[in-house]
Structures are given as structure tokens and as C-alpha cells.
Amino acid sequence: SPKQRGRKRNRNCRRHALYVDFSEVGWNDWIVAPPGYQAYYCHGECPFPLADHLNSTNHAIVQTLVNSVNSNIPKACCVPTELSAISMLYLDETDRVVLKNYQEMVVEGCGCR
Amino acid sequence: ESNHASLIPEEGKKKVSGHHPGQSHELLRDFEATLLHMFGLQRRPRPSRSAVVPQYLLDLYRLQSGEADEAGAQEVSFEYPERSTSRANTVRAFHHEEHMEQVPSDGPYTTGTPLRFLFNLSSIPEDELLSTAELRLYRKQIEEASSEDAGNEGLHRINVYEVLKPPRPGQLITRLLDTRLVRHNTSNWESFDVSPAVLRWTRDRLPNHGLAVEVLHLNRTPRHQDKHVRISRSLHQAPGEDWDQLRPLLVTFGHDGKGHPLTRRTKR
């Protein structure tokens, strides 16, 4: 019987869930809201030696194969390519309340760079 | 260590757990320091028990983050201040120094004399450029004994001044910033634009002698003088009132050049 081929776990670079729970890290005494937030993070292989946006053409792939990229070149890294902001309500060091918009707090997209 | 681990994704934990405990503690402390620095904080805040979160800022957060739009969310009693927040990524709230509110005078406090509100704005970072500031005063409905009183009797004039010089007994040099005529048959928060004064104290580094607020009951017999607008703890001992939530509040809107303004977000 055909060997049950388990779904090959997609090890490629992608966004993974990561909920940052401020009460779990003991920050909920000074962060009033939100109680936590979906931060996500990027992780996975970048199998192709070219950054995603370069290997979008067959020509690039052929050139790469033909010219057999120098293996000393470090592999592309799996990093956030798009981030978004969250607003936070917190008490600062002087017990005063601050509402602030923090940029680049949520990973919206990942890619090989 | 177990507390902080959730800030680091699974892969990161494996790396961290490989170290001996002392080192991972240090790593996690560094990680926390990095996050606090990103929040613009020198050290981790340790709020005291007396810290008060004004309902206004909670409501601003809920409106801005889209939480207020969720089904069953608690109603918010004011419009989101689009104009102020469209140029700001930081909103700060301040209460005045109560021990300095009585203006030095020759005799005892007489009703209707202005009270002085001094706000300590030193926690505003230098790189945060303020664009607007509002003073919020709460006024509590007065049930009229008789209906004929509900006419012009219920009018109160609220004047908000900037104090220009250090107060001297019997002498308060001020400049009018905003004024409003209100009727005491409703309860409501009134917002006064005090941007010119606050920007002079912060952006232009001019001395901050505070604001002065005068409330006058416009009536031949001002029976309700000092009873409608909540401006001083000493004037209002109504049972069941939470003074910390009703006291005057200065709200500043500023931008530190990092990131986008606090425009309203629709809940994802």
C-alpha cells in the first residue's frame, strides 16, 4: 500500500502566530490596554538563494542554475516584510496615563531577503 | 524566566534554554530593556496604588483601536477628536497639583473666585511636539426645586485663563483662553482649548504658572454658585462621587516623529 505520505510540513519562510500576553510577562500592572496582542513572527527556510522578489522570473532561475550561485553567499533570511502599528494605553514611570501608537508591532508579512 | 519566555517565539526559546539560567535571565532582561526603550521608557514603570486611569483615555483607546465598535461594547459619550488625533501619535493625561489651587488672597476663599490649576508637564519628552491641549471639566446636573427656576436661573459662565505671572495675594495676572455659558440642567464633560498656553510652556519653554478657572452662577441670588462645575475637591463632597474620575483633566496631543498618528482603526 502506498506509504502514507504525511503532508510535508511547510518549512518554508512564513508568518507564525505569536500572542504576546502582557499578564504572562508581568507587564499588565502598567499596560492598561490591550491585555496582549497578536504579534506573529517570521520563521522558515529560504531554500532559494535568491530573495523572493528576484526569483520571480524563469530567466533568473535559469541564470542562477547555470551560473551555480557561489555557495559562500549566505542564504536569504526569513524576515518581516510588512509590519503594522498598535496603540497602547499605559502608565508611565510618573504614574501618568499615556495613549500611544507604536509602529512596527505586528508582523503582517514575511519574506526571504 | 518562565514569565518572560512567552515574549520570545518557540525557536527563540530553544536558543535561550540552551544557556545556563543566569545567562538566559540576563538575555531576557536585555530583551525587556529593548522593548522598554522602544516604548520610550527608561525603566519598567511600577505604578503606585493611587494611579488613576481617566475614563476619557480608556474611551479614547477603545475608539481608536476599534474596540468601541464591537457588538455589545459600552457606549462612548463623546465624538473621537479626529482633529487633535490626526496630528498626534501620543496622548497624555494630567491632573493638577491640588495643594496649589487656592490663589493666595487677603481673606478667606470667597465663592466664585478663580482657582488655579498647575500641571506638572515635566514627563513630556523633549522630542514630543505637542499640537493641541484641552482642559476637561465635569459639570453635574442640578435638579431645580421649581420649574420657573429652570429658565435663565440655570446659567453658569465658565472662564478659563492662562496665569501669566506668579500669583501674589489678591492679584492674579491672567489672559482669557476660552469661555462658555452652560445651563445646569444637564451633566456633561466640557472641553476647553488651552493649546496656546500649553504650547507656550512646552514648545516655547516659557514659564508655566498654570491655568485659572472661574465659574459664575449668573443669577441675582447665586444659590448654586460652585455647585455645578466640579473644579475642586474642597467644594464638592457629594456622597458617592468618585472625585478622581470627575476632577479637571488636562489632555495633551503630541507626536514624537515615530510612526503614524492615532487615526481611528477599524477592528480587524
Contacts with A32 (C-beta within 8 Å, 6 or more apart), sequence order: A89, A90, A91, A97, B53, B58, B61
Cα–Cα distance, B213 to B190 (Å, whole number): 13
Chain A CA closest to residue B91: A99
Chain B CA closest to residue A102: B259
Rounded to the nearest angstrom, the minimum Cα separation between A18 and chain B is 7
The residue among A62 and A3 whose pLDDT is bigger is A62
Cβ contact (<8 Å) for A89 and B261?
A: no
CA A63 to chain centre: 29
Three-point CA angle B63, B124, B132, nearest 5°: 55
| B6 contacts chain A (CB < 8 A) | yes
Asked whether B158 and B189 are in contact (CB, 8 A), the reply is: no
Of A18, A24, A93, the CB nearest to B43: A93
The three three-digit cell numbers of residue B179, written as one number:
469661555
Could you read off the pLDDT of B78-108 as tens digits, one per residue? 888 888 999 999 999 999 998 888 776 666 6
| B259 contacts chain A (CB < 8 A) | yes
pLDDT band at residue B2 using 50, 70 and 90 as cut-offs: very low
Pair type for strands B249-255 and B129-139 = antiparallel
DSSP codes, B183-199 = ETTS-EEEEEE-HHHHH
Could you read off the pLDDT of B231-261 as tens digits, one per residue? 888 777 677 778 899 999 999 999 999 888 9
- Identify the three-state secondary structure at position B203: coil
| A32 contacts chain B (CB < 8 A) | yes
Cα–Cα distance, A22 to B243 (Å, whole number): 30
Nearest to A52 by CA among A110, A92, A102, A6: A110
| A41 contacts chain B (CB < 8 A) | yes
Pair type for strands B174-183 and B155-163 = antiparallel
Q: What is the ipTM of this complex?
A: 0.83
Q: Is the pLDDT of residue B166 over 50?
A: yes
Asked whether B258 and B89 are in contact (CB, 8 A), the reply is: yes
Q: Is B226 left (phi over 0), alpha (psi -120 to 50) or beta?
A: left
Asked whether B35 and B7 are in contact (CB, 8 A), the reply is: yes
φ, ψ (nearest 5 deg) of residue A11: -90, 0
- One-letter amino acid identity for B92? R
Q: Is the pLDDT of residue A16 over 60?
A: yes
Most confident of B2-16, B137-151, B195-209: B195-209
pLDDT at B79: 83
The residue among B222 and B150 whose pLDDT is bigger is B222
| A79 contacts chain B (CB < 8 A) | no
pLDDT at A1: 45
Of A25, A97, A104, the CB nearest to B57: A97
Could you read off the pLDDT of A44-93 as tens digits, one per residue? 998 876 666 666 678 877 777 777 767 787 888 999 999 999 999 999 98
pLDDT at B219: 76
Can you give B215-228 as a three-state secondary structure string? EEECCCCCCCCCCC
Cβ contact (<8 Å) for A89 and B58?
A: yes
Rounded to the nearest angstrom, the minimum Cα separation between A41 and chain B is 7
Contacts with A60 (C-beta within 8 Å, 6 or more apart), sequence order: A50, A54
Q: In the block, which residue shows the cell 465598535?
A: B69
| A90 contacts chain B (CB < 8 A) | yes
Contacts with B250 (C-beta within 8 Å, 6 or more apart), sequence order: B93, B94, B95, B96, B117, B119, B133, B134, B135, B136, B194, B198, B211
